[in-house]
A and B are shown apart, each in its own frame.
Chain A
Amino acid sequence: MTAFNEQSRQQVCDIVEEMKNLPGAMLPILHAIQDAQGYIHADAVSIIADGLAQSRAEVHGVISFYHHFRTTPPGKHTIQVCRAEACQSMGSRQLEAHVKEKLGIGFHQTSADQQVSLEPVYCLGNCACAPSIQVNDDVVGRVTASKFDQLVDQLSTQALEVK
């Protein structure tokens, strides 16, 4: 993820300008920025605050309230592990421990090589085929330790191929 340069600033300004007149514009704006840039940079906060005529503290308060929004750049891939009950009943606690060990990071952390960010999630709606994780945009069901290892290996080969 690149730094917050002139181009990112312009992108944030454009998003705010385009959406600021929507009723309840805050969340749509935050989503649009995070979708485009992966996270919400501190410098974006003042642009949003100006656009919506709110204080920076108010904008920050909203960002920090919602688990989905992040203020630091994510890794190249994001893996979410479901921690809710239906997945627990199918061994997600053990899976979670395995995932952390395999990736060498805990929740809300990004691997040192910036490849993977790990996040908890509370239900992906795939509770009939638990345990569930989400790898980037894709939900995966009936995840075992070995299935997880395969998925991670695929991610690293893909990363090599794109380079």
Chain B
Amino acid sequence: MVKVYIPRDTTALAMGAERLATEMAVEAKNRGADIEVVRNSSRGMFWLEPLVEVETANGRVAYGPVEAKDIDSLFDADFINGGLSHPLCQGLTEEIPYLKKQQRLTFARAGITDPVSLEDYQAHDGFKGLKKALEMSGQAIVDEVKNSGLRGRGGAAFPTGIKWQTVHDAVAPGDAAQKYIVCNADEGDSGTFADRMVMEADPFMLIEGMTIAGLAVGATQGYIYLRSEYPIAHQILNEALAKAEAANLLGENIQGSGKTFHLEVRLGAGAYICGEETSLLESLEGKRGLVRAKPPLPAIVGLFGQPTIVNNVLSLAAVPYILAEGAKAYADYGMGRSLGTLPFQLAGNIKRGGLVELAFGLTLRELLEDFGGGTFSGRPMRAVQVGGPLGAYLPESQWDTPLDYESFAAVSAVLGHGGVVVFDDTVDMSQQARFAMEFCVVESCGKCTPCRIGSTRGVEVIDRIVNDENREDNLELLNDLCDTMIDGSLCAMGGMTPFPVKSVINHFPEDLHKPVTEDMAS
């Protein structure tokens, strides 16, 4: 029996993996070939999806991107024995430079294991961190996370260990004394899919990380707040949760330790602002996602008024490795105050889009060129938006910036959640500035005026600039409006929307000064 791997990851499915898996099984039967189709998840080399892998004595051999129409020729080329002659053959998967050059800690198992097989997870170091944690004091776990230097991967880069310490030390008020672990799986940023990949490729790792967090601070209930746009992740998470519970890796008296941790998935409902942690908590409580003023911090007054850890998927997913291998092993990656690895996500107009997990310190250009291979369209690259819709657009003069939090901050940019969206030279940057404001109109929670009204004004002002109505005056007005939003907004939605807008004003001014043409006026 030969194992043939066909991913059930969202992007693989979006490129035809389901039909491929079905027809592959049928054709194997027709030919009397003895294969087992395993539904793994993606390796994160999305330009090769659907990527079919075949197990051979030398390791897995990869073929991609495979369409249903290629099945016949694959069998003819003896792919089930790793035949190398097929034009779609990529050789041994592990030797593909894109993958080989990465430092995969969080994504070490992605695409290798069956995401919902506990046996696979355990055979690949799964639950090693939890086993250690079950024998440690809460404080010792918190110390380990502190010493790893892990900073939150959701955008704000706040030290995870310090957040955990606060929740550890907080005394839950009231009769229903209860602390909570909340995983922020709202991943709303365009250009990001690392959280999705964790949940679709390695859900037990997230479950393990959250359980360890529960042990660290004495929380017995956790929620994964998952965006409703991720139905595949939802299904896979639920399958994994059921298996973990059945194996007593979750629930009451975990592995006879006397410790308890319950975990549940809750769905968002298509609101970007609910990725902001206090809006998320309101939403989990069943309310409109209006942002709360801070302080008090969620660590002290969080879900249902109780001390709560809110962490991004990637932050929690890094924890099992840190516990299993030790804080130092993790901190040995990276530079300065940016320790460990960050999964970058190459997206948009890029030849080789996908997930690239590396220690901090590579430059943006190396990422775009060595990994990304230039644009998908083959045209020159012009602008790169890093860090999601609230992140700046970087012109070529800034592409040599090292990919770490402080270097990006120094050029008024953010790494955020590691999303990198590439645009070629056909982009009209005035429209990108306009969209930043428009997105804020659509997604503002409405609590404060600079964000709610300012963004609407922003769209109008940019339209006037583009249409050359009092261009210089309106540019000045736009700058003022940006400053008002930065200074007067309660959260980063209104406070950072000006980042991409200002980056267009500063680095791509020519696009705001174009002569008006007929089709633009329409």
Contacts and interface: CB of A to CB of B under 8 A. Distances in A.
A77 to B, nearest CB: 16
A93 B284 CA distance: 34
A68 B15 contact: no
Interface in A28-46: 28, 30-31
B230 to A, nearest CB: 6
A89 interface: yes
Interface string A77-91: 000000011111110
A122 interface: yes
Contacts of A31: 228, 267, 269
Nearest to A141: B14
B271 A121 contact: no
B367 to A, nearest CB: 14
Interface stretch (B92-100, B188-196, B450-458, B466-474): B188-196
Contacts of A121: 229, 270
Contacts of A130: 347-348
B360 interface: no
Nearest to A87: B190
Interface string B226-240: 001111000000000
A122 B188 contact: yes
Interface string B247-271: 0000000000000000000111111
The interface size bin for chain A is 35 or more
Given A85-B191, A89-B348, A90-B348, A128 B286 contact: no
A142 interface: yes
Given A23-B304, A85-B385, A141-B11, A28 B266 contact: yes
A127 B49 CA distance: 13
B422 interface: yes
Contacts of B288: 61-62, 65
B13 to A, nearest CB: 7
Interface stretch (B311-319, B327-335, B435-443): B435-443
B479 interface: no
Contacts of A25: 286
B164 interface: no
A67 B228 CA distance: 11
Interface in B336-365: 345-350, 353-354
Contact of A125 (B47, B229, B285, B389): B229
Interface in B282-300: 283-289
Contacts of B268: 27, 66, 68
Contacts of B47: 128-129
A99 interface: no
A127 B345 contact: yes
A152 to B, nearest CB: 17
Contact of A126 (B193, B270, B284, B419): B193
Contacts of B228: 31, 68
Select the residue from A30, A68, A132 with max chain B CB neighbours within 10 A: A68
A68 B92 CA distance: 43
Interface in B174-193: 187-193
A139 interface: yes
Q: Looking at B188, B345, B353, B419, which has the most chain A CB atoms within 10 Å of its CB?
A: B353
A124 B439 CA distance: 15
A101 interface: no
Nearest to A121: B229
B193 A89 contact: no
Contact of A26 (B230, B286, B348, B439): B286
A129 to B, nearest CB: 5
Contacts of B10: 124-126, 139
Nearest to B439: A122
A27 B376 contact: no
B188 A65 contact: no
A36 B123 CA distance: 40
Interface string B191-226: 111001000000000000000000000000000000
14 contacts: A23-B304, A26-B286, A27-B269, A66-B268, A66-B270, A66-B289, A89-B349, A89-B423, A89-B427, A122-B188, A123-B188, A127-B347, A138-B13, A138-B14
Given A123-B189, A126-B10, A126-B11, 16 more contacts: A26-B286, A30-B269, A66-B269, A66-B271, A67-B270, A84-B389, A85-B385, A85-B421, A89-B421, A89-B424, A123-B190, A125-B229, A127-B191, A130-B348, A138-B14, A139-B14
